Structure 1
């Protein structure tokens, strides 16, 4: 991996230490160029010039196939969405729920993978059972198994929660779902692009994700994987010209084949094309190389930050069980003040509750700071941030 070349293709790294990939990463220039080029063409060529539009939709389908290959899925199992929140809601609203049906939700989930299920409690009488992680934020497949009853329809969790950085035993949890005849939905928003993600190996029924984080695409790059056998089982929540056909002569309506049936209206073409460039970029670097690099950086960050007086680490103490995300507090210091001090020095991290109330409550805190790394970061940047935090708490 040529880090200097990668950093040269990400110009902001020359002036800013960016440690907030868990919120949204820095796109390489090749991604921005793809988006920019398309937007310029829409004005210079004409967005609905027939030949241009035909070529555009062919490019969209090429990216669909590209993403499918990246996930070891088939192209007709992939739907484009605005974000993972939308993808999760499409599944939550697309199942024919009965009052008393159960959903198992990991207590490590942020609101995007909690509110859709809580809403079903009010609208359909669905019972939401929260599955607790251990004291370090790690889930146990046996906890899901123990909670399954004859009314359980689906279980869901994040492969890599945004608040702990704990790599969850996704294959084992999905295996529990399969053994008990329960549907499984994996939220891969944080892991995709940092950890190899293979839906066949996971053996999940649904997988939601986005491109703006570890894949380094832009906003508006969500997607949904639906196992082919379940595509027609899920009722589309949204319909429009892109995914529906209406026969005015007899009043009949039909939906597009495959997972495109979940896409309504014009696709977000600039973002989708940028996603294609991001997938190509990640593949050229190599997912295994990316994971190894981020694990190395994560290990160093935990080690170095732990030397700061008053440092409290959240999530797994064993760095082998975490990647990329290092949430922490400095005892007696408002994390927002640390973020502000770093921002003044052109270093970007984040503080907040990260919509992870259960995790915060488990640690007895209401807010925390978070360093989130990616492969374009360096050991020197981590050292610089540690020094600046030390300086901030001495003021």
Structure 2
């Protein structure tokens, strides 16, 4: 992995140490060029010059195939969405629900993988079962299995929760669901582009993810994977050209027999082109190499942070259960003060609740700061951030 070239590809690194990929990552220049090149050409020939439009739509098909290959799927199983939230909603609103059906999720879920199921509970009398997790933040398979009933229709899990950084055993969860005849949905918004994903090995029915985080794609990009045999079970939330065929003579319409059925109207071409460039960029580096580097950076960052007086790190105590996301507080300092001080010194992290209500209650806090290093970060940046936090503790303690 050529870190020097990778950092040269992103002008941000000339000014800032960006350690906040869990929120959104800075895309490499190649992603921006793919998007602006298209937009620039539309000013020259217009978006609907026939030859240009054919070229663009052929590129979209090519990116669909590349996206599928990136996660071990078939092109027909891939739909493009605006973000991971939309992808989750397409599943939640697209399945046929009966009163009394059960959805199981954990208390560590992010807002966008909780409220769509809460809405089902309110609107359709679907039963929502919330598994309790301990401070490790890792779902226990035995507890999950005990929660399954004859009415369980779907289990959904965030592969890597945005606040805790506790990597979940999604393969075992999906295999358990499959054995019990239950559908499974993985929210991979924090692992697409970070962890090697193969949906055929995971045996999940659905996978939703955004492109703007660890994949380093643009905002407004997302992916929904629908296992081939489940495509017919999803009734599109939106309908129009692109996802349906319409027989004008009989005045009847039908949904496409592929995952693209959930896409209605004009695709967001710039975002899809940016997503494609981000996948190409990750492929060139190698997803396994990315994963291994971030694992090492995670361990290094936790070790260095532990040297800061008054430091409390939340989430898994076992470093083998943690990846990339490191929430923390420092005694005597507010999370906002920490992030502001680091920003003054050109280091970007984040503070907030991260909508992690259960985790905040477990630790008796109302806010926390968060480091989330990616492969482009260096140990020197981590060292500098830690030195600054130690300096801030000393200043505030006087």
How far 1:72 moved relative to its partner?
Answer: 0.6
Q: 1:69-218 counterparts in 2 under 5 A?
A: 69-218=69-218
- Which residue in the other structure is 1:378 paired with? 378
Distance 1:343 1:39 in 2: 33
1:141-182 deviations in Å (ceiling 9; x for gaps): 221111000111000011111101111111111111011100
Name stretches of at least 5 consecutive residues in structure 2 with no aligned partner: none
1:167-206 deviations in Å (ceiling 9; x for gaps): 1111111111011100000000001111101101100000
1:80-124 deviations in Å (ceiling 9; x for gaps): 000000000010001111111110011111100000000001110
- Which residue in the other structure is 2:276 paired with? 276
Distance 2:101 2:89 in 1: 17
- Which residue in the other structure is 2:252 paired with? 252
Partners of 1:108 and 1:157 within 8 A in 2 = no
Partners of 1:294 and 1:373 within 8 A in 2 = yes
1:32-81 deviations in Å (ceiling 9; x for gaps): 11111011011112101111111111100100000000111000000000
Residue 245 of structure 1 aligns to a residue whose secondary structure is strand
Name stretches of at least 5 consecutive residues in structure 1 with no aligned partner: none
TM-score norm. by structure 2 comes to: 0.98
How far 1:248 moved relative to its partner?
Answer: 2.9
Partners of 2:232 and 2:257 within 8 A in 1 = no
Distance 1:5 1:320 in 2: 29
Partners of 1:192 and 1:214 within 8 A in 2 = yes
Distance 1:181 1:252 in 2: 34
Residue 264 of structure 1 aligns to a residue whose secondary structure is coil
- Which residue in the other structure is 1:53 paired with? 53
Distance 1:179 1:366 in 2: 39
Distance 2:201 2:118 in 1: 29
- Say if 2:208 is the partner of 1:237: no
TM-score norm. by structure 1 comes to: 0.98
How far 1:355 moved relative to its partner?
Answer: 1.1
How far 1:245 moved relative to its partner?
Answer: 2.6
How far 1:133 moved relative to its partner?
Answer: 2.1
Count of residue pairs brought into register by the alignment? 395
